Amino acid sequence: MSTSVTETHGVRAATAIQTAPQLSVDLAPGAKRELILRNPVMTASGTSSNGLELARLFDINRLGGLLSKGVTLKPRRGNPTPRIVETPAGMLNSIGFQNVGVRRLLSDAATVWETWDVPVVVNMLGDTVEEFARLAQVLDGAPGVAGLEVNISCPNLDVGGVAFGRDPVAAGRVVEAVVSSTTLPVIAKLTPDVTDIAVVARACQDAGADALCVANSFVGMSIDVNSRRPRTNRPVAGLTGPAIKPLALRLVWETAKAVDIPVIGCGGIVDGRDAVEFILAGATAVQVGTASFRDPFASIRVLEELIQYCRDNDVADVNDLVGALQVG
């Protein structure tokens, strides 16, 4: 950091000139197609629709990356209401993957994504391995699509989702099928609902995943003591928000130690220091999710606070923070 001296009304004042840190990160080193973000801050799937609304509030191209709302081959209506419940320091959701289907996504949203500079990664889900592969084929080469996030972790479904993510063999089969069906970078989104996340993480890496997202929502529930019924339409739902941050942080740390591919941290991030914690634990990038419901500008604020942290701590390159946690 250098310093310039200015003269103001005869008083010498030292003004710090702060150089912006290097923020770009590579989420798919060695992949068929690159996925380089201008900074580590992404949105999380399902929390900002397809980015079209956010783009009306701020320059969407300031973000490192954007995740689409999860998509399936055919449209889905999702679960009946009620499917959102506030909890202390978080929320439960049981949306059930409501979406317009991949063809409508490409015609309505991807045509807009194509005009953006920010890379958009499509979160995708199938009920079978074959459906995952078919989705990958449809999305491969689609204008505006920069990568695929394979959702093997959604807890609000009767089939697919977390059923694949709990089993390393099944998870590997899904990832392998997607990788063989696309030239796009492939990110596997893992469930926290496992005994040892490192086992599933290694299976996904061995199957060809370029990166891992850790983690999806935790399974929880809330009960109305007056009616003695669950507050969501299904007895259990996905818990997100600040309440899960310490748990997600631990999973990122364990995953990053187990694999040699980039890890994306997700779970309870609300400010820049949260993002730094995940990066120190081993995350190459982070996703901001539930915080955007309360503050649509949350992802931009996280980015600005991350940049300020780097400046305040003389961090010239954000990659120098990845896995820099000191233990012992």
User: What's the sign of the alpha-carbon dihedral 43, 125, 245, 225?
Assistant: positive
Preceding amide of 82 cis, omega within 30? yes
Looking at the DSSP assignment, which residues form a beta bridge with residue 238? 93, 219
Catalytic residue among 154, 204, 213, 310: 154
d(CA 119, CA 42): 10
Longest CA–CA span in the chain (Å) reads 75
d(CA 61, CA 120): 10
- Closest CA relative to residue 66, chosen from 77, 50, 82, 81: 50
d(CA 279, CA 274): 9
Preceding amide of 142 cis, omega within 30? no
d(CA 116, CA 110): 10
Taking the CA atoms of residue 267, residue 286, residue 319 and residue 255 in that order, the dihedral angle to the nearest 10 degrees is 50
Say if CB 293 and CB 273 are below 8 A apart.
no
Question: Is 154 assigned a catalytic role?
Answer: yes
**87, two tokens:** 């909890």
> What's the order of all strands across the beta sheet hosting 84-87?
84-87, 90-93, 237-240, 218-220
Number of C-beta neighbours around residue 232 at 10 A = 24
Among all residues, which ones are annotated catalytic? Answer: 154
